Amino acid sequence: MSRLKVGVIFGGASEEHAVSIKSAQEVAKNLDTDKYEPFWLGITTGGDWRLCDEPDAGWENRSARPAVLSPDRSLHGLLVREQEGYETVRLDVVLPILHGKLGEDGAIQGLLELSGIPYIGCDIQGSAVCMDKSLAYTVAKGGGISTPNFWVVAEDEKVDPDHLPYPVFVKPARSGSSFGVSKVTRADELAGALSEARQYDSKVLIEEAVAGREIGCAVLGELFGLITGEVDRVDLSHGFFRIHQEDSPETGSENSTFIVPADISDESRQLVRETAETIYRTLGCKGLARVDMFLTDDGQVVLNEVNTMPGMTSYSRYPRMMAAAGLPLSDVIDRLISMTLHGKKR
């Protein structure tokens, strides 16, 4: 029986380039090569596409060939440059293991839609809505989901610092992994926080801080419905949670650890899972997502954000939560591919 040809896209021209490579390396360890023939397609920080043997540390320079994903549906795959022309590779499915801009915002999903190749994860609309936190909050509130109070700040817009209910969080509206995020406790800190956020996005979000515990829930769309992983809790020693900002995240964070399963009541755990599923459906997610929330002291669940292509590294929350529920990453990958090829991404 021939193996399925699986294109795995990683890297990317975003601030989350390095994280994506680590996610791809973990996928490589858990991809069943008896079932799948992988084609590793790396994107450099400059936006160049390269077909390589594996997503290791030297993937850009060692035996990598220029290649592109063709939008021509009759080709249904890759154009790989050879000395005299191009070789074509027909793909059965694509895993876009890209985080942040151009990976979770609908851009790569649009190219894959043009190509006609099935791909795991959210479609264009779901990706775009979840990537823009202000849009996600607006849609979620319309669906009866609690969100933080927030204000959108357009490019070059001025904000009166004396009219905000401190503490607040200032963050790029369309970025990930806590890049450009600041906690502001005083009016004189606001200008610097806005400047920091605008390094990553011209559109900025100011959120009123939510008093509560930071909770996460991994969601997997299956052929028969939704599966949730074990709920986790971010245990902070000081400051606020800044994922992927450490020099060596594999060895742990300087101010946070993850409690899996979360040390909360069974009633709260069930509410978190149900709310995560509601958020997933309301925002139009498909395939997989990590839903981050707050659990307030009075037992309410408030949306924080949704990651439509969560990290898959050895230290990432999504695979940890799924593994704690009895689904190792290899099984998650199998289920995502199977569901995608059946054309029933939930």
- Per the annotation, the verdict on 17 as an active-site residue is no
- Per the annotation, the verdict on 163 as an active-site residue is no
Cis peptide before 319 (omega within 30 of 0): no
- Per the annotation, the verdict on 19 as an active-site residue is yes
Active-site residue (options: 11, 15, 16, 22): 22
Q: Are 232 and 319 contacting, i.e. CB atoms less than 8 angstroms apart?
A: no
Euclidean distance between CA atoms 209 and 206, whole angstroms = 9
- Per the annotation, the verdict on 184 as an active-site residue is no
Q: What SS3 state is found at 8?
A: strand
Q: Both tokens of residue 172?
A: 């790029």
Q: Both tokens of residue 236?
A: 């902070």
Active-site residue (options: 19, 89, 210, 272): 19
Active-site residue (options: 36, 200, 315, 318): 315
| DSSP letter string, 236-247 | ESSS---TT-SS
Q: Both tokens of residue 37?
A: 């023939």
Active-site residue (options: 89, 311, 320, 335): 311
In angstroms, the Cα distances linking 249 to 16, 19, 65, 242, 245 are 14, 10, 31, 11, 8
Q: Where does residue 341 rank: exposed (0-12), middle (13-18), buried (19+ CB within 10 A)?
A: middle
- Per the annotation, the verdict on 315 as an active-site residue is yes
Active-site residue (options: 290, 317, 335, 345): 290
Active-site residue (options: 171, 203, 233, 244): 244
- Per the annotation, the verdict on 171 as an active-site residue is no
Q: What SS3 state is found at 81?
A: strand
Active-site residue (options: 5, 17, 50, 99): 99
Active-site residue (options: 46, 85, 186, 250): 250
Euclidean distance between CA atoms 64 and 10, whole angstroms = 14
Which residues belong to the active site?
19, 22, 99, 244, 250, 290, 311, 315
